[in-house]
Amino acid sequence: MPQEKSGDFSINTIIGPNTDLTGDIETNGFTRIDGFIRGNVKAKGRVVIGERARMKGNVSGTNITIGGVVCGNVVADGHLVILSSAVVIGDIITRRIQADDGSFINGRVAVCPNDERWAKVTSEYRDAQGIKSALPVFNRTYG
């Protein structure tokens, strides 16, 4: 399991509260989102989605904290914290989870503390995502 440097809280990417972004984001470090995103966020570090953030897309990272609204799947290779102000509409895959009272989750939740289960579940998830992304092309070509 990838480990973050303990005590390294430098933020590499910030999407501010008055930002409206369409497109995918890939980062190598700590990412903070307080604005509105239509797209996927893939981070090799910690992700914080603030209370006023709104997101339509999938989120993946090492440790993820959600305080806002996420309409998409969440994959946390470490720890996932869902604050009381959070709404998650989508599936969750994580090694550890903390969901505060008042949070709302609508989707399947898979908690995989051991490496074998993690590898199996994430592989199945990636396969399903690959099939979903290929369907529009298939339908345009053969439909």
87-133: per-residue pLDDT in tens?
999 999 999 999 999 999 999 999 999 999 999 998 888 888 877 66
Looking at the chain, the whole-number percentage of residues with pLDDT higher than 70 is 85
4: which residues sit within 8 A by CB, 6+ positions away?
Answer: 45, 46, 62, 63, 78
Query: Could you tell me which residues come within 8 angstroms of residue 107 by beta carbon, excluding any fewer than 6 positions away?
Result: 73, 88, 89, 90, 91, 92
What is the Cα–Cα distance from 76 to 31, expressed in whole angstroms?
13
CA gap 13, 3 in Å, rounded: 19
pLDDT confidence tier of residue 7, bands split at 50, 70 and 90: very low
Q: Over the Cα atoms of the chain, what is R_g?
A: 15
Is the Cα torsion angle 117, 120, 124, 129 positive or negative in sign?
Answer: positive
pLDDT confidence band for 70 (50 / 70 / 90) = very high
User: d(Cα 83, Cα 130) in Å, to the nearest integer?
Assistant: 30
Q: What pLDDT score does 125 carry? A: 87
pTM: 0.84
